[in-house]
Structure 1
């Protein structure tokens, strides 16, 4: 039993790390503001569609994939991936134990950041689709208000070696409508 769990976990980590051929072919990089906009659009979509909206995020050629980024949806309270456009076979799998190459608990930190009123950014080491080795990835996460499904969040990321999490947080503070997204 222990061997199966270890194998399943290793399979999940490899699946998340491998990426998609479609993204691997993209030469354009997503900008931080695009990531925020897409995640907030995804949150609004989920708020309107509820659980029925999850399946659209699995489409590998859908509106939730662009340049070298994509929106993925997960449930922090249930410890499960709800939708992933590159690997829809990951849906239903646990995610809170997933760590990056530096042993950072990625989804635990995404869940904490996404629970903030304006969402938040998390930096971690992760393979970039189409490239060998590990890259610096920073993902923006935000909670959704899905009826009868507490803990749902949407996230997307950028591969950017220059901007800090602090700079990205300042970007949020200067661009998000304070009436709609209060700081506290």
Structure 2
């Protein structure tokens, strides 16, 4: 009896360990976000705006991975491409606030203008869970635009 309980406990712990791994695998990581943003910036440099934006906007394209997607923002605060929400394309985000009232787009723009990559924290709806969650977004500047990919914490 003791042995059976021990086996069941060990099996349950083992199963929970892998269940946690499966859930974690459904979410992007910081290194994956950086790689996806850099991949989009490289395509832009090699193939130009039209092809890159079309691929970013393709919901089945290479720039959408689980809960990660690329979006492009210019220094004026306008979205020029968006992998998860096409309704944002062409929209000004300069004064957009997150759930806590943070003007996060201004921070994203500041990273673009700096010419150096960086991270910005804010709250945003997760396209997978449909819940507002804490998010950190990596921005890869390319002139007057930035390729951005966020992960949910």
Which TM bucket (shorter chain)?
0.7 to 0.9
Q: Which residue of 1 aligns with 2:100?
A: 102
Q: Structure 2, unaligned stretches of length 5 or more?
A: 1-23
* C-alpha contact (below 8 Å) 2:134/2:152 kept by paired residues: yes
After TM superposition, give the deviation of residue 87 of structure 1 in Å: 2.1
- Tell me the alpha carbon deviations over residues 118-156 of structure 1, each in whole angstroms, 9 at most, x when there is no partner: 4100010122224354211000011114xxxxx211100
Residues of 2 paired with 1:127 and 1:134: CA distance? 4
1:74 corresponds to 2:73: yes
Q: Structure 1, unaligned stretches of length 5 or more?
A: 1-25, 146-150, 161-184
Q: TM-score, normalised by structure 1?
A: 0.64
**CA separation of 1:40/1:50 partners in 2, compared to 1, >3 Å: closer, same or farther?**
same
* C-alpha contact (below 8 Å) 1:39/1:154 kept by paired residues: yes
Correspondence 1:163-174 to 2 at 5 A: none
Matched residue SS, 1:60: coil
Correspondence 1:121-140 to 2 at 5 A: 121-131=119-129, 133-140=131-138
Q: Which residue of 1 aligns with 2:43?
A: 45
Correspondence 1:4-153 to 2 at 5 A: 28-52=26-50, 53-77=52-76, 79-131=77-129, 133-145=131-143, 151-153=144-146
Residues of 2 paired with 1:80 and 1:117: CA distance? 17
Q: TM-score, normalised by structure 2?
A: 0.76
**CA separation of 1:98/1:28 partners in 2, compared to 1, >3 Å: closer, same or farther?**
same
Q: Which residue of 2 aligns with 1:167?
A: none
